[in-house]
Amino acid sequence: MNLLLDEIARATTRLAEAGVASPRADAEELAAAVHGVSRGELHTLPDNAFDARYWEGIARREAGEPLQHITGRAFFRYLELAVGPGVFVPRPETEVVAGWAIDTLREMDVADPVVVDLGTGSAAIALSIAQEVPQARVHAVELDADAYRWASRNIENLDERGQVTPHHTDFARALPELDGLVDLVVSNPPYIPMSEWEYVPRDVRDHDPAAALWGGGDDGLDAVRVVERTARRLLRPGGFVAVEHSDLQGAPVYWIFAEEHGWRDQRNRRDLTDRDRFVTARLTTE
């Protein structure tokens, strides 16, 4: 048997015993990162190519450190992002939010759509939109200093056409110069209530930045309420907003985008596991 594949099998057992949710995938991804190959190429490495540093990564993952902090990278749609301590690790469910935003922009009768990503984190959504909608101009807003540095790094490395502009500011005061001019606002804001602290996985609550997790208020939705007000200010009549939330918050987030605030066409939308994941709405044209 190939030595590396044998070591991956042993590592999978260790990670499973440590309670890691996806032990085989994590063991393979760590092996690929250490050896500088893709997961599909692991079986091609000769025995003498095995790097013992692999077991250092496995020990860190056993101890609860996020896989992406160990490898220094996170995959999101067609991107490979740099991530690490101080920035929220983008999740697969957020790819559905980005996908809806991309599809909506492609359907717009707008030559150069203007997009604002509130709370950009690693800039995953902003960069995906820029990559897949070449005519879009994207503004990536982030207040946290550490996260802003990660976003700026990814934008510098991945924004080949210069479409994404980072802004180091908060949701509420962001981009007054664009009031009434934006075609789409998208956000994956913090939304977890502190009452749920004990139910949040250890590698999330101990390593993702607190500012990206806890949304404020008894229901965790204070940050979403700020996004609603800012989106209402930024969007042109007929512009769209998309806001991610937990699978239990679809109804309350839906009602935050109320008709009396000028919203219409509100919809709860689901992720790939068929759970409520984000709300979309359109600013009235009246």
Does one domain contain both 163 and 255? yes
Mean pLDDT, residues 222-245 taken together? 97
Q: Which of these three, 33, 63, 93, is where a domain ends?
A: 63
What is the per-residue pLDDT for 43? 85
Does one domain contain both 96 and 160? yes
Does one domain contain both 129 and 160? yes
- Asked if residue 133 is part of any domain, the answer here is yes
Q: pLDDT, tens digit, for every residue of 235-270?
A: 999 999 999 998 888 899 999 999 999 999 999 999
264 touches 282 (CB < 8 A)? yes
- Asked if residue 11 is part of any domain, the answer here is yes
- Asked if residue 73 is part of any domain, the answer here is no
Does one domain contain both 262 and 147? yes
Does one domain contain both 37 and 100? no
Mean pLDDT, residues 147-151 taken together? 98
CATH at residue 157:
3.40.50.150
Does one domain contain both 26 and 92? no
- Residue 280, both tokens: 């979309």
Mean pLDDT, residues 213-229 taken together? 90
Does one domain contain both 40 and 123? no
Q: Is the dihedral of CA 150, 152, 153, 157 positive or negative?
A: positive
Pairwise CA distance, residues 101 & 103, whole Å: 6
222 touches 216 (CB < 8 A)? yes
Does one domain contain both 46 and 113? no
As annotated, the binding site includes 142, 171, 188-191
What is the per-residue pLDDT for 209? 85
Q: Average model confidence (pLDDT) for the chain?
A: 93
Pairwise CA distance, residues 192 & 182, whole Å: 28
- Asked if residue 68 is part of any domain, the answer here is no
**Which residue segment(s) compose the domain that 235 sits in?**
85-283
Helix (H) or strand (E) holding 236: strand 235-244
- Asked if residue 45 is part of any domain, the answer here is yes
Does one domain contain both 9 and 136? no
Does one domain contain both 59 and 177? no
User: ∠ CA(154), CA(160), CA(163), 5° rounding?
Assistant: 85
Does one domain contain both 130 and 171? yes
What is the per-residue pLDDT for 1? 56
As annotated, the binding site for substrate includes 188-191
Pairwise CA distance, residues 17 & 281, whole Å: 44
- Asked if residue 69 is part of any domain, the answer here is no
What is the per-residue pLDDT for 197? 74
For residue 139, pLDDT beyond 80? yes
Q: pLDDT, tens digit, for every residue of 19-75?
A: 998 999 999 999 999 999 989 889 888 888 888 899 999 999 999 999 999 999 999
The 3-state DSSP composition of the chain as helix, strand, coil percent (nearest 5) reads 45, 20, 35
- Asked if residue 223 is part of any domain, the answer here is yes
Total domains in the chain come to 2
Compute how many other C-beta atoms are within 10 angstroms of the C-beta atom of residue 72: 11
- Asked if residue 148 is part of any domain, the answer here is yes
Does one domain contain both 58 and 113? no
Highest mean pLDDT among 4-8, 202-206, 255-259: 255-259
